[in-house]
Structures are given as structure tokens and as C-alpha cells.
Amino acid sequence: MTERLVACPICGKQTAFAPSNPHRPFCSARCRAIDLGQWASEGYKVPANDNTPDEGDYPHD
């Protein structure tokens, strides 16, 4: 069976997306560390909805 190839999210290199690649979906430990650093330094952010009601919108007891 052929291993599925995917592009590394950091460098774009084609890499195996299989248990044989311990860094998947990255091509190397270096790319994996770069990605972790981006998360740690808040280079990536998950978009948030501001659905929090204003303080005046809460019912009073």
C-alpha cells in the first residue's frame, strides 16, 4: 500500500502522512518545533466570536 503524501504546513515539502513519520503532518522535528513556537508566541490565533452579552443584558434577581 502506498503512503499518502501531504505538504508540510511549514515548508511545503511533500511528506508521508503515516505512522512511519513520527513528525506528521510535518516533514521534520524542525518544522514541528517552528509550528509549536508559533503557537507559543501567539503567532497563530483561533478566531473568536464576541457573543458575550453586555453586562446590562443579564436579568437582575
In the annotated binding site, the residues are 8, 11, 27, 31
In the annotated binding site for Zn(2+), the residues are 8, 11, 27, 31
DSSP state of 28: S
Query: Which stretch of DSSP H or E encloses residue 5?
Result: strand 5-7
